[in-house]
């Protein structure tokens, strides 16, 4: 049977901005090898696979190279698709069974989608010299956020001007590196970029998981629990961040760009794309 597939731009209300994700709606779970092949074919930072699981949904995420344990933008995109297609009432929360436990996603009154995710605490720790040199920056602080590195730099200008050497970056084992600074724009509290060449994503456009760390990191420094963040990739996107103890509420918007069918491993897109 054909698998319905959606291309959704997440953490944006404008097509061709934010972070694109593919969302595959399955009637039943599929094996990991097939899902990895589809994700490689889609060649987006993440492809999400959603299947019914009783009163909840099973959700798995794959980059072009590996399965990941937590992904923000593809979760947001998956909930958006369930509500938009009528598979779930807009008044109901989307509950996903994932490798990171049960994740609740709700549609807020203003149309933003709120993800209830675990907080990731930053702990002081050195970043390998090769990674710092590949970034071409002078850090003012370095931390570990689980398997990721966090580098704070002096200004937004430095964050926006980054042009990493990804070949050098991959010369050491790693997962991802987040570079961040306070924002110069009063409409945003902090700014960041996210690089993950180790999993096949040189730069992720807008990264929900990064803000699970950035929220608890910046909150005490700014004296806030509710913040607005901007991820300054070429596509760019805004994330609302609310720190709630051991949880972080991440909010964003989403736009469906295209819908198609995946048949026997061969993708056959429809002849018309709907752009909203």
Confidence category of residue 262, pLDDT binned at 50, 70, 90? confident
Convert the pLDDT of each residue in 208-257 to its tens digit: 999 999 999 999 999 999 999 999 999 999 999 999 999 999 999 999 99
Domain 123-250: which topology? Diaminopimelate Epimerase; Chain A, domain 1 (3.10.310)
- Within the chain, all domains assigned CATH 3.10.310.10 are found at 3-112+253-269, 123-250
* pLDDT at position 272 over 90: no
Cβ atoms within 10 Å, residue 238: 20
Position of tokens 């039943």? 28
Q: Are 79 and 91 in contact (CB under 8 A)?
A: no
* pLDDT at position 269 over 60: no
Q: Are 150 and 180 in contact (CB under 8 A)?
A: yes
3-112+253-269 sits in which CATH class?
alpha beta
* pLDDT at position 267 over 90: no
Q: Compare 92 and 268 and report the one with higher pLDDT.
A: 92
What is the average per-residue pLDDT within 64-92? 97
Confidence category of residue 276, pLDDT binned at 50, 70, 90? very low
Positive or negative torsion for Cα 69, 70, 76, 77: negative
Confidence at residue 2, expressed as pLDDT on a 0 to 100 scale: 80
For the chain, the average pLDDT equals: 94
Percentage above 70 pLDDT, the chain:
95
Percentage above 90 pLDDT, the chain:
92
Convert the pLDDT of each residue in 122-164 to its tens digit: 999 999 999 999 999 999 999 999 999 999 999 999 999 999 9
The answer for residues whose C-beta is within 8 angstroms of residue 189's C-beta and 6 or more apart is: 182, 183, 218, 222, 224, 227, 228, 229
Cβ atoms within 10 Å, residue 205: 25
200: left (phi > 0), else alpha (psi -120 to 50), else beta?
Answer: left
**144 CB-contact burial (10 Å; exposed 0-12 / middle 13-18 / buried 19+):** middle
How do beta strands 56-62 and 67-68 pair? antiparallel
Q: Which of 3-7, 91-95, 228-232, 265-269 has the lowest mean pLDDT?
A: 265-269
Q: How far apart are CA 32 and CA 53, in angstroms?
A: 17
Q: Which residues of 8-35 are buried (b: 16+ CB within 10 A; e: fewer)?
A: bbbbbbebebbbbbbbbbbeeeeeeeeb
pTM (whole model) above 0.85: yes
Confidence category of residue 270, pLDDT binned at 50, 70, 90? very low
What is the average per-residue pLDDT within 192-197? 97
Question: Which residue numbers are catalytic?
Answer: 46
Convert the pLDDT of each residue in 6-55 to its tens digit: 999 999 999 999 999 999 999 998 999 999 999 999 999 999 999 999 99
Confidence at residue 196, expressed as pLDDT on a 0 to 100 scale: 96
Confidence at residue 265, expressed as pLDDT on a 0 to 100 scale: 52
Confidence at residue 185, expressed as pLDDT on a 0 to 100 scale: 94
Confidence category of residue 264, pLDDT binned at 50, 70, 90? low
Cβ atoms within 10 Å, residue 213: 24
């Amino acid at each position: 049977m054909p698998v319905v597939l959606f291309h959704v731009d997440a953490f944006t209300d404008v097509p061709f901005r934010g972070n694109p994700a593919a969302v595959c709606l399955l009637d039943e779970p599929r094996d990991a090898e097939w899902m990895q092949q589809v994700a490689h074919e889609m060649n987006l930072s993440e492809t999400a696979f959603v299947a019914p699981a009783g009163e909840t949904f099973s959700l798995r995420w794959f980059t072009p190279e590996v399965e990941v344990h937590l992904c923000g933008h593809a979760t947001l995109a998956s909930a958006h698709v369930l509500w938009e297609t009528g598979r779930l009432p807009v008044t109901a929360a989307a509950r996903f069974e994932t490798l990171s436990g049960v994740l609740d996603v709700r549609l807020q009154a203003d149309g933003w989608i709120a993800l209830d995710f675990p907080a990731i605490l930053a702990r002081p720790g050195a970043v390998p010299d090769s990674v710092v040199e590949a970034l071409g920056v002078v850090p003012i602080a370095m931390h570990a956020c689980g398997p990721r590195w966090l580098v704070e730099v002096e200004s937004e200008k430095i964050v926006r001007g980054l042009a990493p050497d990804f070949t050098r970056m991959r010369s050491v084992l790693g997962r991802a590196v987040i570079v961040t600074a306070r924002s110069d724009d009063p409409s945003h509290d902090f700014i960041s970029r996210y690089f993950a060449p180790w999993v096949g994503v040189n730069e992720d456009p807008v990264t929900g998981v990064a803000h699970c760390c950035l929220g608890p990191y910046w909150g005490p420094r700014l004296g806030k629990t509710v913040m607005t963040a901007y991820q300054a990739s070429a596509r760019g996107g805004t994330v609302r961040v609310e720190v709630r103890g051991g949880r972080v509420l991440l909010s964003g918007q989403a736009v469906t760009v295209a819908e198609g069918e995946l048949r026997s491993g061969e993708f056959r897109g429809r002849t018309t794309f709907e752009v909203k």
